[in-house]
Amino acid sequence: MNLLIHNIGLLATPLGRAARGGAAQGDILTMEGAYVLIRDGRIAAVEQGMPRDYEGETLDAGGRLCTPGLVDAHTHLVFGGWREHELALKLQGVPYLDILARGGGILSTVRATRAAGEDELADKALRQLQHMLALGVTTCECKSGYGLDTENELKQLRVTRTLQTRQPITLVSTFMGAHALPEEYNGDREGYIDLLIREMLPQVAAEGLADYCDVFCEQGVFSAEESRRILTAAQALGMGAKVHADEVEAIGGSRVAGEIGAISAEHLIAADDAGIAALKAGGVIACLLPATSLYLGKPYARARDMIAAGVPVCAATDFNPGSCPGGNMQLVMNLACWQYRLLPQEVLTAVTLNAAAASGQAKETGTLEKGKRADVLLWDSDNLDYIFYRFGQNLVHTVIKDGNIVVKQ
């Protein structure tokens, strides 16, 4: 199928096939009066004016802003149940460990996920993906981590694989069996790590269920050296590495990410100067999650310092049932401006090219360039600043995924 998007008021896109950090993060292409020509789901041309001798379907952009589709580089998409019953406890200041002791927290979600069948999990996640698509997401990373045993971790990953056939968003799968220590392994940390390395990871790799492995490297969860062991085992099986690092305390997660060449380090609220330097040295993308800071009332990561150090920054939702039960990338874009003090051009790169790079997709999507997948948004705006200035409503007008119009509002 061919499609010509014409009468674009302003086209705004980063350029390239790799993450951009430092001053280059804010260096984007803008073009007035542009068109995007799509052939067989790929971008064939991005130019000003109108192409000659075009025959095929056309879409009048009506003078609107055109950008690449958004990439959500950090979600926990597939899970059972919700945790709204914890809201009053949180508002009353009950500590998380106390909630956990009452049977809540992540282990509550583990029990709900284990009890749910694949169809139930898939239907629930599908509704969320439809919501995300309407908000402009065309690529989404999806972590497991609510099974915490071989059967249920594989179940989550198989659901993600099934979901790819049921809706248009490109899904990138991440195995995160090292999300927490399951109840049945209390007092036997080494036993669970052995299960991860000797049983879970080989089965995930054998079935080709995950592109990446992620570990929650945090005080009371997995230590820096435990994280290194798990992630290097995953790398030996052909998976890329990601690290939940320095969310609460800087215990060495950023250092591990840099030393093993992880594609990204996530959260980074507590990252110190040494951690930021390690990310830069290792070529690691900082995947920041401002909506989680908002929801928990926690500090925001040092995004400006990371950019100053030359670390590429991306921003994502962290959609999950506990610390961020919302998957709105447009809110993430707002928060990245207001709380990280990033400029609109820097944020656009953060939620497109850099997020695509953090998901291993930068050669395929994240920019409007010839040869890439035709993942394109039209916004109810004629300029870039407006979509960061406004908040609280969906500003996406049209979503084109792989050259097909999948949302028009």
pLDDT of the residue at 386: 98
Residues 169 and 41 in one domain: no
Cβ neighbours, 10 Å, residue 313: 30
Classify residue 309 as exposed, middle or buried by CB count within 10 Å of its CB (0-12, 13-18, 19+). middle
CA nearest 9: which of 67, 59, 64, 46? 64
Residues 79 and 61 in one domain: no
CB of 232 closer than 8 Å to CB of 226? no
CA nearest 210: which of 246, 185, 192, 235? 235
Domain carrying residue 58? 2-69+367-408
Residues 129 and 230 in one domain: yes
CB of 312 closer than 8 Å to CB of 20? yes
Rg (CA), the chain: 21
Residues 300 and 404 in one domain: no
- DSSP 3-state assignment of 383? coil
DSSP 21-64: -GGGGG--EEEEEEEEEEETTEEEEEEES--TT--SEEEE-TT-
pLDDT of the residue at 392: 95
Residues 80 and 194 in one domain: yes
Residues 376 and 253 in one domain: no
Give me the CATH number covering residue 212.
3.20.20.140
Residues in the chain: 409
Give me the CATH number covering residue 384.
2.30.40.10
pLDDT of the residue at 53: 87
Residues 381 and 297 in one domain: no
Among the candidates 358, 376, 397, a domain finishes at 358
Residues 63 and 197 in one domain: no
CB within 8 A of 400, min separation 6: which ones?
3, 5, 38, 59, 69, 374, 375, 376, 377, 378, 406
CB within 8 A of 162, min separation 6: which ones?
118, 122
Q: What is the pLDDT along the chain (409 residues), one digit of tens a residue?
A: 799 999 999 999 999 999 999 999 999 999 999 999 999 999 999 999 999 889 899 999 999 999 999 999 999 999 999 999 999 998 998 887 688 778 788 999 999 999 999 999 999 999 999 999 999 999 999 999 999 999 999 999 999 999 999 999 999 999 999 999 999 999 999 999 999 999 999 999 999 999 999 999 999 899 999 999 999 999 999 999 999 999 999 999 999 999 999 999 999 999 999 999 999 999 999 999 999 999 999 999 999 999 999 999 999 999 999 999 999 999 999 999 999 999 999 999 999 999 999 999 999 999 999 999 999 999 999 999 999 999 999 999 999 999 999 999 9
CB within 8 A of 276, min separation 6: which ones?
254, 302, 305, 306, 309, 311
What does the pLDDT look like over 51-97, one tens digit per residue? 988 989 999 999 999 999 999 999 999 999 999 999 999 899 888 76
| Domains identified in the chain, total number | 2
**H-only helix segments in 261-343:** 273-282, 290-296, 303-308, 329-338
The identity of residue 187, as a single letter, is G
- Alpha carbon 320 to chain centroid, angstroms: 12
Structure tokens at 250: 């800087």
Residues 129 and 250 in one domain: yes
Classify residue 406 as exposed, middle or buried by CB count within 10 Å of its CB (0-12, 13-18, 19+). middle
Residues 99 and 245 in one domain: yes
Among the candidates 318, 341, 358, a domain finishes at 358
What does the pLDDT look like over 318-363, one tens digit per residue? 999 999 999 999 999 999 999 999 999 999 999 999 999 999 999 9
Give the predicted TM-score (pTM) of the model: 0.97
Residues 378 and 308 in one domain: no
- Alpha carbon 288 to chain centroid, angstroms: 9
Whose tokens are 């035709």? That residue is 374
Whose tokens are 């990953």? That residue is 157
Residues 59 and 118 in one domain: no
Structure tokens at 75: 């979600």
